[in-house]
């Protein structure tokens, strides 16, 4: 068992010996280290003591000032021992960090061991409470970190479940959920919502002729070009095979056709480089909108865009068709 270690700061040699004898009779021999001044006290490793007792009046310092210096260096409990029997001195000492205050009066020596024992018990409880608090804070921090990691993992899982692994666009299942939400919002707050269905012209022949690796690259390129032309609020998904679908909130059919035209032009140029030939891959696009076509439910908005897409293909491909106009061919 570790021996108790007490520091007594007292300039009166007789008083110092009396306090030493009293404490060592109670706590055991060689438990007390004496210091007769502030200077002598500050040469000690104050944090190594279990408790410090200091006189109020020292030859080279005021006890309150020394108490403040001790508090700056360590958290060791300090008992003020003084002949000043003045109430406000005791209150000031406690405010400045003393754990107790003993007046040198009458049989005060008999009370010192009890006061020391009480202060040591309080310090032990406070230390244990502080350790428990730190352990609790560490545990709570770990829980928060684990929750953050779990949320991030769940978010990644949700993103993977909602995303087409090849193109990085949403998959058809997730698109269906978003479609219902955006359709309901457009009806609740009267605003337009447009849908564009995109199909790569002649993709099967290209996939067979150039190989599946190039075929996948054509799909990846389509995803990149589509995303590059989407606003933050827009939704783009791979609908299946070489077919893609776009939802553009607050955009009418003509605005959506303009977006589709940019996508077609950029894709044409990009795939010409990819295939190393003068002409790239063309797209056929069908467009529908809430304001123009008045669909009664979300799936009908997509069905109208799909019907427009088939009209674009029947009209010769490489064109955009809306339900408001004839298919418009675009020269390559």
Across 18-42, average pLDDT: 93
Which pLDDT score, from 0 to 100, does residue 249 have?
97
Give whole-number Cα distances, 114 to 96, 274, 292, in Å. Answer: 22, 90, 92
CATH number of 172-329: 3.30.70.270
Pairwise CA distance, residues 291 & 108, whole Å:
95
Which token pair is 274? Answer: 């990819």
pLDDT of residue 326: 43
pLDDT digits (tens, 9 = 90+) for 100-132: 988 888 888 889 999 999 998 988 888 888 888
CATH of domain 6-132: 3.40.50.2300
Q: What is the mean pLDDT of the segment spanning 241-256?
A: 96
pLDDT at 206 over 60: yes
So where are the chain's domains? 6-132, 172-329
Between 314 and 330, the more confident residue is 314
pLDDT at site 331: 42
Separation of alpha carbons 266 and 68, rounded Å: 75
Q: pTM of the entire structure? A: 0.57
Q: Are 69 and 56 in contact (CB under 8 A)?
A: no
pLDDT tens track for 261-305 = 999 999 999 999 999 999 999 999 999 999 999 999 999 999 999
Determine contact, residues 100/118, Cβ cutoff 8 Å: yes
Q: How far apart are CA 195 and CA 249, in angstroms?
A: 9
Q: What whole-number percentage of the chain has pLDDT above 90?
A: 71
- pLDDT higher than threshold 50 for residue 327: no
Task: Give the pLDDT mean for 153-182.
Answer: 88
Instruction: Return left, alpha or beta for 287; rule: phi > 0 is left, psi -120 to 50 is alpha, else beta.
Output: beta
**Neighbour count for residue 327 (Cβ, 10 Å):** 20
Please state, in angstroms and rounded to a whole number, the distance separating the CA atoms of residues 171 and 147. Answer: 28
More confident residue, 325 or 288: 288
pLDDT of residue 328: 45
- Structure token pair of residue 286: 């069908």
Mean pLDDT of 147-159: 82
Asked whether residue 86 carries a pLDDT value surpassing 70, the answer given is: no
How far, in Å, CA of 217 to CA of 206, rounded?
Answer: 11
Average pLDDT over residues 250-254: 95
Please state, rounded to an integer, the average pLDDT across all residues of the chain.
Answer: 90
pLDDT surpasses 70 at 224 = yes
């Amino acid at each position: 068992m570790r021996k108790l270690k007490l520091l007594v700061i007292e300039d009166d040699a007789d008083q110092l010996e009396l306090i030493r004898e009293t404490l060592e009779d109670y706590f055991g021999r060689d438990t007390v280290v004496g210091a007769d001044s502030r200077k002598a006290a500050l040469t000690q490793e104050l944090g190594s003591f279990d408790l410090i007792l200091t006189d109020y009046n020292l030859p080279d310092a005021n006890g309150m000032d020394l108490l403040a210096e001790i508090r700056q260096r360590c958290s060791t409990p300090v008992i003020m021992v003084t002949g000043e029997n003045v109430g406000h001195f005791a209150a000031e000492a406690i405010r400045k960090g003393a754990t107790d205050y003993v007046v040198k009066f009458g049989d005060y020596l008999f009370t010192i061991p009890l006061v020391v024992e009480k202060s040591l018990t309080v310090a032990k409880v406070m230390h244990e409470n502080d350790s428990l608090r730190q352990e609790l804070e560490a545990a709570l921090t770990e829980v928060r970190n684990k929750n953050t990691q779990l949320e991030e993992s769940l978010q990644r899982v949700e993103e993977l479940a909602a995303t087409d692994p090849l193109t990085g666009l949403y998959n058809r299942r997730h698109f269906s959920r978003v479609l219902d939400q955006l359709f309901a919002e457009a009806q609740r707050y009267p605003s337009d919502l447009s849908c564009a269905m995109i199909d790569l012209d002649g993709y099967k022949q290209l996939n067979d002729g150039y190989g599946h690796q190039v075929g996948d690259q054509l799909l990846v390129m389509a995803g990149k070009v589509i995303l590059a032309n989407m606003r933050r609020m827009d939704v783009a998904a791979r609908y299946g095979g070489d077919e893609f679908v776009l939802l553009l909130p607050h955009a009418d059919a003509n605005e959506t056709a303009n977006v589709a035209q940019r996508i077609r032009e950029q894709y044409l140029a990009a795939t010409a480089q990819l295939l190393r030939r003068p002409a790239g891959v063309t797209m056929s696009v069908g467009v529908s909108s809430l304001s123009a076509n008045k669909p009664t439910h979300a799936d009908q908005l997509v069905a109208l865009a799909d019907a427009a897409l088939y009209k674009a293909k029947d009209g010769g491909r490489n064109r955009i068709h809306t339900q408001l106009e004839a298919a418009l061919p675009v020269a390559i």
